[in-house]
Amino acid sequence: MIQKNHNVSVWLETAVSGIRFKPDRQAVEEELREHIEDKTLDLMRIFPGMTEEEAREQALDRMGDPEEIGKELAKIHKPWLGYLWRASKWALGLLAAAALVVCAATNDHFQNARHPLWGERATSYGTVRGEKAELGGYTFQIVGAAFLDYPEDGAYQDVYQVTVRVSSLKFWERIDPAALYSGLTATGPDGVGQPMDRATVNMDLEAGASQITVGIEQTRWDLFSREFAIYLEGHDWKENDRVTLDFHFGRGDFALTVDHMEQVVME
């Protein structure tokens, strides 16, 4: 066993000795080692009476002269290409970091371009940290749930508001709101599912007020996440009222449930 492993190690060391860029040398050595093992197993399947040591020796013979292979590999794997590749990775990293600094320092420009790094458009209510799910590199988590109780004689209607944060470490891939709207159905305590690809708006022209009673509104966003408030009409609130959010995407389906609402009395 010691001898055959030694033979393989010597063959590999000879074959890759001309590759001067270490990451390339290690990768090629591992690939050649796998080829040797594959050939060894193939020979043992074809010739059941052959021992593992014999099969490995024949596999090495069939791989060829390691010195000749080493010369060819040295021609292919130029060290300057490896160092250039490594330098380009560092350069791209520094460029990305510089871009983030510039973006943060000139956020007003990005606000005007409708591509802000962060912002807040509406208020989310409730302090709950509820269920969460992972899908396609995104984390979906309920971060707020409340029953918004408006005055009976006012312009606004009572609604349930559930806030969902969608986050990803890939800041350049913040979720497309349109994909969320088309893939979400919300079901309130009455058991009726409401698709979120359209919104119902309460308009009071005399008071000059408008309110989403069924639908989604983007409330906050930052570099790594977006938060969305999901609204459903509410009546006769109870503390244990349940709202279920069913997500249907091309990569999979899941549901998040809220079974505890905070009552927020609105003025």
For 225-265, write each residue's pLDDT tens digit: 999 999 999 888 888 889 999 999 988 999 999 988 889 99
Q: Show the tokens assigned to 204.
A: 């009071």
What is the CATH number for 162?
Answer: 2.60.40
Does residue 191 sit in the same domain as residue 128? yes
Query: pLDDT value at position 136?
Result: 87
Question: For the segment 185-207, what is each residue's pLDDT rounded down to a tens digit?
Answer: 999 998 999 999 989 998 887 77
Given a cut of 50, whether residue 106 has pLDDT beyond it is no
What is the arithmetic mean of pLDDT over 95-100? 64
Question: Does residue 188 lie within any of the structural domains?
Answer: yes
Query: pLDDT value at position 227?
Result: 94
Does residue 22 sit in the same domain as residue 129? no
Comparing CA positions, the residue from 193, 167, 195 lying closest to residue 182 is 195
Report the amino acid identity of residue 54.
E
Question: For the segment 253-263, what is each residue's pLDDT rounded down to a tens digit?
Answer: 999 999 888 89
What is the arithmetic mean of pLDDT over 151-160? 90
- Domain range for 53 is 2-82
| Number of domains composing the chain | 2
What is the arithmetic mean of pLDDT over 80-109? 58
Highest mean pLDDT among 75-84, 111-120, 125-134, 140-149: 140-149
Question: Does residue 36 lie within any of the structural domains?
Answer: yes
**Degrees, nearest 5: CA angle 155-142-194:** 55
Comparing CA positions, the residue from 182, 176, 210 lying closest to residue 196 is 182
Question: Does residue 88 lie within any of the structural domains?
Answer: no
Given a cut of 50, whether residue 1 has pLDDT beyond it is no
B/e letters for 16-50, b = 16+ CB within 10 Å, e = fewer, are bebbebeebbeebbeebeeebeebbeebbeeeeeb
Query: pLDDT value at position 84?
Result: 62
Query: pLDDT value at position 196?
Result: 94
Query: pLDDT value at position 96?
Result: 66
**Chosen domain end from 82, 108, 137:** 82
| Axis-axis angle for helices 52-63, 22-46 (nearest 10) | 130
What is the arithmetic mean of pLDDT over 74-97? 64
**Chosen domain end from 82, 97, 132:** 82
Give yes or no for a contact between 141 and 165, defined as CB atoms under 8 angstroms apart.
yes
Given a cut of 70, whether residue 100 has pLDDT beyond it is no
* d(C-alpha 200, C-alpha 56), whole Å: 72
Average pLDDT in the chain: 82
pTM recorded for the entire structure = 0.58
- Say whether 146 sits in a helix, a strand or coil: strand
Does residue 231 sit in the same domain as residue 124? yes
Query: pLDDT value at position 77?
Result: 64
State the greatest distance between any 2 C-alpha atoms of the chain, in Å, as a whole number: 94
Query: pLDDT value at position 2?
Result: 35
User: pLDDT band at 97, cuts 50/70/90?
Assistant: low
Does residue 128 sit in the same domain as residue 200? yes
Question: Does residue 181 lie within any of the structural domains?
Answer: yes
Per-residue HEC secondary structure of 158-221 comes to: CEEEEEEEEECCCHHHCCCHHHHHHHEEEECCCCCEEECCCCEEEEECCCCEEEEEEEEEEEEE
pLDDT over 70 percentage in the chain: 82
